[in-house]
Structure 1
């Protein structure tokens, strides 16, 4: 890892190096906070969690071949070098910020209320047509996950595509200080994390904290169909690009056509020409993700043909509208998280399924004082769609179920107190040939439902 000697690491995180003069000049080969992933020559950073304290594993990781560790504790007389710090979590962020500066890799930071992960995947797929791209894996998008993603960067990487997730004010500033994006993308401003951010204006304020750290010669890419983002006219002198379905945007799409669960066809118009493409994941929201990726492709010098190839190479990830075919069901695994905007998009896409169209839904978390009303609104919305059944679980989903019944008595609706109660009834309420959407906030752990249904023999 470039310039990551123990001496430089200690300076970067304001730590006290304790060890031999010879060892302080050695470079670490990797950095991890997981004692199970220690490799020879790495640096282990122990984090105090709710269930375990990484400091308890320091002896174990040194025996496994680690070069050094950070520690918030005085380790006494030991036969290995270590760096004493006040806070391991702050040290992780400080070291990541230092390391990114050593590599000078262009960074694309992606945030928004909905679609961060799918946009990140689409942007990475497009840019991979020309560059060696490192992207955020899984949900490593917070104040610990983003630094751990940065530590995966190596000198051969040419661009980093980093997802940046927040739930409160100040978090984006801390993330952006680490990443210092050359390009910032905001997908939309929706009803998400309202428990802390209060309303969409609060969401906008929190997300746009990123702007304070965008490079002066960088780009900002915004969803021009979002009223809050469309109102932004200037960002610290950077180049501003907007995308959407409205022709006023710099890059826009039309001739949109659903191909069922095979995806969405559309024509994308750019300043360098137009092209027809098939986005291989269903849902109208995927058109916006493709447009954001097209903007990024233009910024980094890709041709329209390269952008189209990248979009069409996109692969779904688990929990993010991942379609699983079994002998009994077509499962739409979209259970990683949920808020009102993403819930509506997924329910709309479910209409393209075959057989009975069934939604298995759970509570949406962190919606603040309007949580009951927002669940009821989703119920009314679902009732207006071409769906056959909605089976939902959780106390807030009682309002969702009531909204469906009021909107459309034709739709079969069942409400369960919790996820386990719903799971017990699945063999009775699902039928062979159903297309089944599974979606809820992460706290509901609806991935267990996906695992249960996926246990059927896959086609």
Structure 2
């Protein structure tokens, strides 16, 4: 990482340094909260977790080569340097904000109710055709993950593509204070995290907190097909640029040809050009992701040929609309997370299959008091699409099953847990089936994908 001394870190965290004064001028090599990732010269930040308190691991990290620890505990006359702070979690954010300010790098911040990760992957794939890009990995998009992502930025990086996920008011403000994006992208305003944000207007308010700490000379990119975003006026006075399918969008897609589970062909229109490209990942939402990638690419100076190459180079991540072909089944692995909008989008993808369709759906979390109606709505949607067998797993998913039955779905099953489904898997699924697997992360549905892969035989 870029140079940062212990003295500088102490000031940034408003802490008190304890240890050899000569070491205060030494630079750390990395910052981590994971004792397993400590390398020579690391700064270890002791975070109190649900099961493990990082403070108990400080001696171990020193033996592994850490230079210094950040601690909420007074460690007394410790035989190693440490910085005493009031809160390690706050110090993590303060230090990341300080480090970001020292970097000469363009940052693309991405948020939205659905599609943050797939949009992030698309934008990073496009920008990688010209720039050295760092992107958010995994689910490192919250108040712990974002700082750790920022600390991964090195001097060779030219652009950072940062995913920013929230569940309550004020979180985006704290994330934006760290990221300070030059380009802000919002994918949509859907129904997610309603326990705290209450309704779509609340979600819009929370997501757009991002603009408070963006580059005042930056750009805002919004999905012009989303009713809430299309009519939103940023308080910072910047005029949004829209991407989507509508004629009012500066970056839009035309002549969209659905190739089923093989993806989509489309013509991409910019303010001064047009080009064709193939998107290998299925789903209409991927067209919007590609338009977002096109818009960011053009704002950062890429040519149409570079943007096309980036769109066509994108491959799916495990758990994110990942198509797995086995000897017996075609599996759509989209089980990383779920809310009503993403459930419907994934069902749309499944409905494109030219085989018998089976959806294995689980509970959706954080939907607030309206969770029953939102689950039933997904079940009705699956029935309306003609999904031929719907397998619902979990207590809340019983409402998906109820909605599907109300709408006349031909075959609906409900199980309280995965084991009940596994006991009847052979009876329910048939060779040649196309199978969607999707639920909130808490349901741990990757286990179902693994079982289906083993049952289906060799992947192709």
TM-score interval, normalised by the smaller of the two chains = over 0.9
State the partner residue of 1:367: 367
State the partner residue of 2:458: 457
Where in structure 2 are the equivalents of 1:15-414 lying within 5 Å? 15-409=15-409, 411-414=410-413
369-378 or 230-239, which moves further after superposition?
230-239
SS at match of 1:261: helix
SS at match of 1:254: strand
246-255 or 392-401, which moves further after superposition?
392-401
Deviation at 1:67, TM superposition (A): 0.9
Per-residue CA shift, 1:349-408, capped at 9, x if unaligned?
002224321100001111111111111111111111132111011122222112212213
- Give the Cα–Cα distance (whole angstroms) in 1 for the partners of residues 449 and 57 of structure 2: 34
8 Å contact from structure 1 (residues 45, 70) kept in 2: yes
Deviation at 1:327, TM superposition (A): 1.8
- Give the Cα–Cα distance (whole angstroms) in 2 for the partners of residues 378 and 166 of structure 1: 23
TM-score by length of 2: 0.97
Equivalenced residues, count = 458
SS at match of 2:185: strand
Deviation at 1:222, TM superposition (A): 0.2
- Give the Cα–Cα distance (whole angstroms) in 2 for the partners of residues 85 and 424 of structure 1: 52
- Give the Cα–Cα distance (whole angstroms) in 2 for the partners of residues 426 and 141 of structure 1: 35
State the partner residue of 2:419: 420
- Give the Cα–Cα distance (whole angstroms) in 1 for the partners of residues 237 and 200 of structure 2: 25
1:432 paired to 2:424: no
SS at match of 2:216: coil
SS at match of 1:209: helix
CA RMSD of aligned residues (A): 1.2
SS at match of 1:22: helix
- Give the Cα–Cα distance (whole angstroms) in 2 for the partners of residues 452 and 47 of structure 1: 35
Deviation at 1:235, TM superposition (A): 4.7
314-323 or 447-456, which moves further after superposition?
447-456
- Give the Cα–Cα distance (whole angstroms) in 2 for the partners of residues 180 and 143 of structure 1: 14
196-205 or 99-108, which moves further after superposition?
99-108
- Give the Cα–Cα distance (whole angstroms) in 1 for the partners of residues 5 and 356 of structure 2: 59
Once superposed, which parts of structure 1, at least 4 consecutive aligned residues long, lie more than 4 Å away?
Answer: none
- Give the Cα–Cα distance (whole angstroms) in 2 for the partners of residues 31 and 167 of structure 1: 26
> Structure 1 stretches of 5 or more lacking a match?
none
TM-score by length of 1: 0.98
Per-residue CA shift, 1:161-218, capped at 9, x if unaligned?
0000000111001100100111110000000111111000000011011111111110
